[in-house]
Amino acid sequence: MLTSATETKYRLIIVGGGGNGRECAQIAQAMIAAGTASFTIAGFLDDNESALVGTSTAWPLLGSISAWQPAEDERFVIAVGNPQVRAKLADSYTARGAQFINLIHPTVILATNARLGTGISLSPFSVVSDNAAIDDHVHVNLHTAIGHDAVVGRASVLSSFCDVTGNVRLGERVLLGSHASIAPGLKVGDDALVGIGAVVVSGVKSGKRVFGNPARSLAL
């Protein structure tokens, strides 16, 4: 829906100036082009002053993550690929009074009864199916599908081309590598890591790292 000239436009601030942050900026820009955004893109925060050096991004580094104090006209999205760091930043910015916003690319297929938290980023051509639920501060990358009745826990990161099938339960701060697949109805515990291309055919306990087809636990 197009916004009116009198509607408030928030300043979107992306917490993280690395690759994930720049991907989120592209989602935001696509939303603006499609007329579905209630914000303008202000720029990035990062504790690395050189985070944007060598990139061609159109938006500036505004300041550091650690020092920034949110303002009423600002909206935030956490854009860090490490789920544990992502969760800590979300907690820190919530405590500072930050307000978060969802970034949903115009090509996303989103079921009308899907349930979304806040601070979520959904990348191009991702799918969120019937009655699926995504908790706060989750990032879903390109071409990833979340099946019917699946649940994705807070601050999890799903890389490109993942297949989270029906009735799967992903815990909090889970990381799925690219092309990971989870068989229907399985549970992946908090802080688990599923490696690139892994095929999960049995449940994954909290904190475990699994790789391969079929996926097996490895100590790294």
For 158, the token pair is 């799903």
Strands (E), 35-108: 39-45, 61-63, 74-78, 103-104
Rounded to an integer, what distance in angstroms lies between the CA atom of residue 78 and that of residue 48?
16
Residue 88 identity: K
Cα–Cα distances in Å, from 199 out to 157, 180, 215?
Answer: 17, 6, 5
CA–CA gap between residue 180 and residue 75 (Å, rounded): 31
Q: Which amino acid belongs to residue 202?
A: S
What is the residue type of 51? A
Is residue 81 annotated as involved in ligand binding? Answer: yes
Tell me which of 137, 139, 143, 148 is the catalytic residue: 148
In the block, tokens 């300041």 appear at 63
At 211, the amino acid letter reads F
Alpha-helical segments (H) within 96-218: none
Active site residue 148: yes
Return the percent helix, strand and coil in the chain, to nearest 5: 15, 30, 60
Other CB atoms within a 10 A radius of the CB of residue 218 amount to 12
List the catalytic residues.
148
Show binding-site residues. 81
Show binding-site residues for substrate. 81
